[in-house]
């Protein structure tokens, strides 16, 4: 097993924030609505927030927008006692280093580093990529293993090697393989965070410490309560919450690609403009109807737009 890491820094419910865009054409980021949404997360009791990830449509943000979103998130979240794990990944190692250092200098608590997409590097390339980022400054790193998005996956052996670095302290596990996550837990001391809401409870059974959640954009109190029940070893309550939120969690990931469904749901609730940037597009009306039906059992209420 690798050298000891801080096991307490990243645990519980973290919300993978959407990036709100302004009407009429999504050409600008709506920082006012972002601030409102972060406050809603704090009121819901989540542990932290993650700006500029997949759910935040990071591939379509300019560098200036990326920095503005991270800065605004830290500005609003820190006084509310929320941890901030800033998305800072790239398939260009030098760019990832730049974003990682920016997150550190701006006051983030950590950075989320996805496996380089499209390039399809070897395991040696992946190791050198993440080590270069980890060596660049002391900001803690959460590895992000999501082969369904990136077409490249970290092997167990590479994760073991990376876990020896003192700045690499956690992994967002989104392979969909609970057995693989169990081996990561057995062979490293990395904090494991679920990257799939439907698997938060199953992954906790093998030692995961929380979730980076899409669902908590809508149900922060429920996702936070699920993580709290797990931490308290109240497995009956955890299973009850899991079964309650599972239909909506599945809907968010299956009715269309993320974040199309969650942004549409937030629009229906008055929490977002619902605008997406190409190549993502709004769902057809039949999907919107399905999203509306998926929301109905949770008695969520329409909210006024931010002032």
Quick check: is 212 in a domain? Answer: yes
Whole-number Å distance between alpha carbons of 2 and 63: 35
Residue range 187-228, pLDDT digits in tens: 999 999 999 999 999 999 999 999 999 999 999 999 999 999
Among residues 117, 120, 127, 172, the one annotated as catalytic is: 172
CB-CB neighbours of 14 under 10 Å: 32
Give the pLDDT confidence score for residue 304 in this predicted structure: 57
Query: Is the confidence at residue 87, as pLDDT, over 80?
Result: yes
The H or E element spanning position 183 is helix 178-187
Residue range 98-125, pLDDT digits in tens: 999 999 999 999 999 999 999 999 999 9
pTM of the model: 0.95
Quick check: is 285 in a domain? Answer: no
Whole-number Å distance between alpha carbons of 272 and 263: 7
- Residue 13: which of 189, 188, 245, 184 has the closest Cα? 245
| Whether 144 is catalytic | yes
Contact 69, 56 (CB under 8 A): yes
Give the pLDDT confidence score for residue 303 in this predicted structure: 64
Domain that includes residue 32, residue range: 12-239
Quick check: is 286 in a domain? Answer: no
| Whether 120 is catalytic | no
- CA separation (Å) from 306 to 19, 36, 39, 41, 110? 15, 7, 11, 15, 28
Query: Is the confidence at residue 134, as pLDDT, over 60?
Result: yes
Among residues 117, 118, 127, 144, the one annotated as catalytic is: 144
What is the count of structural domains for the chain? 1
Contact 65, 30 (CB under 8 A): no
Quick check: is 185 in a domain? Answer: yes
Identify the CATH number of the domain in which residue 122 sits.
3.20.20.70
């Amino acid at each position: 097993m690798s050298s000891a890491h801080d096991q307490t820094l990243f645990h519980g419910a973290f919300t993978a924030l959407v990036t709100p865009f302004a009407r009429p054409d999504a050409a600008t980021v709506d920082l006012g609505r972002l601030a409102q949404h972060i406050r809603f997360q704090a009121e819901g009791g989540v542990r932290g927030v993650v700006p500029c990830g997949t759910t935040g449509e990071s591939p379509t943000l300019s560098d200036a927008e990326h920095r503005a979103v991270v800065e605004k998130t830290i500005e609003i979240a820190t006084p509310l006692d929320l941890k901030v794990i800033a998305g800072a990944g790239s398939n260009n190692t030098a760019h990832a280093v730049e974003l990682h250092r920016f997150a550190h200098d701006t006051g983030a608590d950590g950075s989320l580093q996805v496996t380089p997409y499209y390039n399809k590097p070897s395991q040696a390339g992946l190791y050198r990529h993440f080590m270069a980022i980890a060596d660049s400054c002391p900001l803690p790193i959460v590895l992000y293993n999501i082969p369904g998005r990136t077409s490249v996956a970290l092997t167990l052996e590479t994760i073991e090697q990376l876990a020896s670095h003192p700045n690499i302290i956690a992994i967002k596990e989104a392979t969909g393989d609970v057995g693989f996550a169990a081996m990561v837990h057995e062979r490293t001391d990395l904090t494991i965070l679920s990257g799939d809401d439907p698997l938060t409870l199953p992954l906790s059974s093998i030692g995961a410490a929380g979730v980076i959640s899409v669902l908590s954009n809508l149900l922060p109190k429920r996702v936070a309560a699920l993580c709290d029940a797990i931490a308290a070893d109240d497995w009956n309550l955890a299973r009850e919450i899991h079964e309650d939120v599972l239909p909506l969690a599945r809907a968010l990931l299956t009715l269309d690609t993320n974040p199309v469904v969650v942004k549409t749901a937030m629009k229906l609730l008055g929490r977002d403009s619902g605008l997406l940037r190409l190549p993502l597009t709004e769902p057809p009306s039949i999907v919107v109807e399905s999203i509306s039906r998926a929301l109905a059992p949770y008695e969520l209420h329409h909210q006024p737009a931010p002032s």
